[in-house]
Structure 1
């Protein structure tokens, strides 16, 4: 019975790692579609999103089956509950990449972003993909020290997000309200993607140590 349980938990962890990898790839492609007004790439992200959704459902089913059939306690219960929560975080990461791709498709053949903010989003995209890869690594290694570093790496994303608002509030902004709304929403998508990657790290720390790190403050509504 114990051997079967361990095998199922390993399979669940592997599935979560695959999900995180897919979310990171989706954000990488979505960013390229955004910066290059590449409709084909945007459609690719949108078409492939079902893979993340299907894995999310499969992971939840696997976790709930373990809860129902194995009656876990203590550390085992913590692992399963953490797994269910991680599924939700990675699912949101995939959904946020999808939002970016849909924005690129909606404005095609025009570019969504004014040229002066392209650099911001190129860097935000790079950071998001790096954080997604780090979340995948943490899920595979269960290294709490590496997991804790995700929060530090997220600070660069927060700084970029704040700087975007200085551009939007500048009197020299000449791109109108629609462009300002697009930039605001897209910036938030990237920030939240990174936040969910950090949350994966927090949950891995809890899974391994039994102690949940303090939650970062966030007053935004997009999750």
Structure 2
């Protein structure tokens, strides 16, 4: 009976890692659809978001059932509580990838990102993907030292968001639609980074029992 319980706990972690892999694939595809104007790829990202949502429901159901049946304490309890929060962050990251793809679909056949900002958007996506991969490794290995790299990636993401925001605020050479789309896009990518930070902080809670949310007050994933 105890072996089955421990196996269920391991499956919870495996499910989180599977969700992270799905989100990483969605992020890469959404950015490609955005920068290359690939409508078919954008449609696939949008459709695949339902699968990420379903995985969250499945994971949360398993976690709640274990909480009810096993009445876990100490580290096991922290794992299940953290898993419920992490699955929510991963689901929101999937939603944000779908939002990027929706912008690509809405502007097709035109590209939503002007040439002058392609490199910045590509870098934001790259940083978000790196932060997600590192967060997944932190979840798998409980490596709190690696969590610092996720914070570093998020800081660069924030800096890029501010850089693009300053450029478009001047309003020179942009259509109204481009201003709206770029403002949304940089926010979507920035929030992906924030959710990656939230993931590693949940692992910090899991390992130490202490909340790490006060490390960086700029990170607040209560919206988006």
TM over 0.5, yes or no?
yes
Question: Which 4+ runs in 1 deviate beyond 4 A?
Answer: 219-222
More displaced, 130-139 or 183-192?
130-139
Give the whole-Å Cα distance in 1 for the aligned partners of 2:148 and 2:103: 32
Alignment partner of 1:211: what SS? coil
Aligned 1:6-25 pairs, distance under 5 A: 6-25=6-25
User: In the alignment, is residue 206 of structure 1 matched against residue 202 of structure 2?
Assistant: no
For residue 222 of structure 1, report the CA deviation from its aligned partner: 4.5
Query: Which residue in 2 is equivalent to 1:79?
Result: 79
Q: Is the 8 A contact 2:142 2:207 kept in 1?
A: yes
Q: Higher RCO, 1 or 2 (CA under 8 Å, sep at least 6)?
A: 1
Q: CA deviation at 1:146?
A: 1.2
Take 1:25 and 1:32, find their aligned partners in 2: how far apart are those partners? Answer: 11
Structure 1 position 216, deviation (Å)? 2.6
2:131 corresponds to: 131
Q: TM-score, normalised by structure 2?
A: 0.94
Deviates more, 1:35-44 or 1:132-141: 132-141
In 2, Cα distance between equivalents of 1:123 and 1:34 = 13
Task: Render the CA deviation track for 1:22-80: whole Å, top value 9, x for unaligned.
Answer: 10110110001101111011011112222211110110000000110001112211111
Q: Which runs of 5+ in 2 are unaligned?
A: none
Query: What number of residue pairs does the alignment pair up?
Result: 222
2:162 equivalent to 1:177: no
Deviation at 1:169, TM superposition (A): 2.0
User: Per the alignment, in what secondary structure is the counterpart of residue 216 of structure 2?
Assistant: coil
Q: Which residue of structure 2 aligns with residue 197 of structure 1? A: 196
RMSD: 1.5
Note the C-alpha offset of 1:221.
Answer: 7.5
Q: Cα gap change, 1:180/1:220 in structure 2, threshold over 3 Å: closer, same or farther?
A: farther
The answer for the alignment partner of 1:49 in structure 2 is 49
Higher mean C-alpha deviation, range 120-129 or range 206-215: 206-215
Q: Is the 8 A contact 1:205 1:211 kept in 2?
A: yes
- 8 Å CA contact retained: 1:36, 1:111: yes
Once the two structures are superposed, residues 174-204 of structure 1 have per-residue CA deviations (whole angstroms, 9 ceiling, x without a partner) of 2122211110011000000010011000001
CA distance in 2, matches of 1:159, 1:72: 42
> For residues 107-122 of structure 1, what are the structure 2 equivalents within 5 Å?
107-122=107-122
Give the whole-Å Cα distance in 1 for the aligned partners of 2:75 and 2:111: 50
TM-score (norm 1): 0.95
